[in-house]
């Protein structure tokens, strides 16, 4: 009798578990948005690094560790995007864990001049003055290519189906709809850049997160010495920026770190470019979706090159 009772009790808890949305924790905002699109109302998604926040300087808090532990599925980007500390906390949570970039071929960056020291980037992550997470090794910024995002979203759907097979058709349906949106983004980018000759597809920017985008749409992203995401350039570095812009005949300049109007005026006066607009690299804008972010980048970039 007792046995029978326990058996029906456990059946009850199983069905209750599936009536509740699957608790998913993602490492950052872009992955969170895409997971919501595929998981719909069958999942409850929380992200650790939110919109407008910077993964490079993020440190895991005890609350984060608790959130990871209380989840049923953890999604990371992988390819070194998350810090070692982050990955360690995710593994310690002891719940299913997936890298959304699995099965996606990396663009590889050489670590300065010594290939033997790839693992060094892990130490450099402590240094907030560098875009440390892809210093050498695999470039993690796969989401900048909407075509590669088809595999990325497939990986997310597969993980959800594995954990919640009863809703397989639901997840597969959402995936198909979302992949159509990714195709639309690709078509928009192709159309926008087709109007611009390849030799004019050059961008000067402080972000070094656009290698996948650049490879897909034949856009050359340049960051001369003195252009970094964190600090304003000195007068000498500014002169180097102006030289590069003039020499390469670049129309599209995105130097959001320069807030000094004197420096911006100098760029306009001496190089003849006006600096407007903002690109989104590693985090969503507040209340923005991945699709919005990509549309914005495509339109801003192609518009600036004309």
Instruction: List residues binding Zn ion (CB under 5 A).
Output: 209, 282
Q: Which is nearer to Zn ion, 203 or 242 (CB)?
A: 203
Q: In whole angstroms, how close is the CB of 42 to Zn ion at the nearest point?
A: 30
CB atoms under 10 Å from CB of 59, counted, come to: 8
Residue in the shown chain whose Cβ atom is closest to Zn ion: 282
Report how far Cα 50 is from the mean position of its chain's Cα atoms. Answer: 12
Q: In whole angstroms, how close is the CB of 297 to Zn ion at the nearest point?
A: 14
Q: Which is nearer to Zn ion, 164 or 282 (CB)?
A: 282
Q: In whole angstroms, how close is the CB of 209 to Zn ion at the nearest point?
A: 5
Instruction: HSE, CB side, 13 Å, CA atoms: give it for residue 265.
Output: 3
3-class state of residue 253 by DSSP: strand
Q: In whole angstroms, how close is the CB of 57 to Zn ion at the nearest point?
A: 11
Report how far Cα 208 is from the mean position of its chain's Cα atoms. Answer: 12
Are 65 and 38 a contacting pair, CB within 8 Å?
no
Torsion of CA 60, 64, 66, 69, to 10 degrees: -90
Q: In whole angstroms, how close is the CB of 141 to Zn ion at the nearest point?
A: 6
Which secondary structure element, helix H or strand E, spans residue 27, and what is its range? strand 22-28
DSSP 245: H
Q: In whole angstroms, how close is the CB of 74 to Zn ion at the nearest point?
A: 20
Nearest partner of 25 among 14, 10, 39, judged by Cα: 39
Q: Which is nearer to Zn ion, 48 or 263 (CB)?
A: 48
Q: Which is nearer to Zn ion, 38 or 255 (CB)?
A: 255
Q: Which is nearer to Zn ion, 83 or 174 (CB)?
A: 83
Which token pair is 271?
């190089």
Q: Which is nearer to Zn ion, 64 or 282 (CB)?
A: 282
């Amino acid at each position: 009798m007792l046995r029978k009772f326990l058996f029906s009790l456990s059946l009850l808890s199983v069905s209750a578990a599936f009536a509740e949305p699957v608790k998913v924790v993602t490492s950052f905002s872009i992955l969170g948005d895409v997971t919501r699109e595929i998981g719909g109302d069958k999942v409850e998604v929380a992200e650790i690094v939110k919109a407008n926040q910077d993964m490079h300087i993020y440190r895991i808090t005890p609350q984060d560790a608790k959130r990871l532990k209380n989840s049923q599925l953890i999604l990371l980007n992988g390819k070194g995007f998350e810090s070692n500390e982050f990955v360690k906390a995710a593994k310690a949570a002891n719940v299913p864990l997936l890298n959304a970039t699995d099965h996606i071929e990396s663009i590889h960056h050489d670590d300065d001049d010594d290939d033997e020291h790839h693992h060094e980037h892990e130490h450099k992550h402590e240094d907030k003055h560098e875009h440390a997470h892809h210093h050498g090794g695999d470039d993690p910024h796969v989401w900048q290519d909407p075509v590669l995002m088809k595999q990325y979203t497939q990986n997310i759907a597969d993980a959800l189906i594995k954990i919640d097979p009863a809703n397989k058709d639901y997840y597969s349906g959402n995936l198909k709809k979302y992949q159509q949106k990714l195709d639309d983004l690709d078509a928009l980018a192709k159309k926008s850049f087709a109007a611009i000759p390849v030799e004019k597809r050059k961008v000067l920017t402080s972000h070094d997160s656009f290698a996948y985008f650049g490879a897909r749409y034949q856009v050359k992203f340049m960051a001369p010495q003195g252009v970094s995401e964190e600090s304003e350039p000195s007068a000498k570095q500014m002169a180097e920026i102006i030289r590069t812009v003039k020499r390469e005949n670049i129309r599209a300049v995105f130097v959001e770190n320069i807030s000094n109007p004197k420096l911006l005026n100098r760029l306009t006066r001496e190089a003849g470019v006006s600096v407007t607009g903002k690109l989104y690299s590693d985090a969503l804008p507040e209340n923005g979706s991945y699709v919005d972010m990509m549309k914005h980048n495509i339109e801003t970039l192609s518009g600036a090159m004309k």
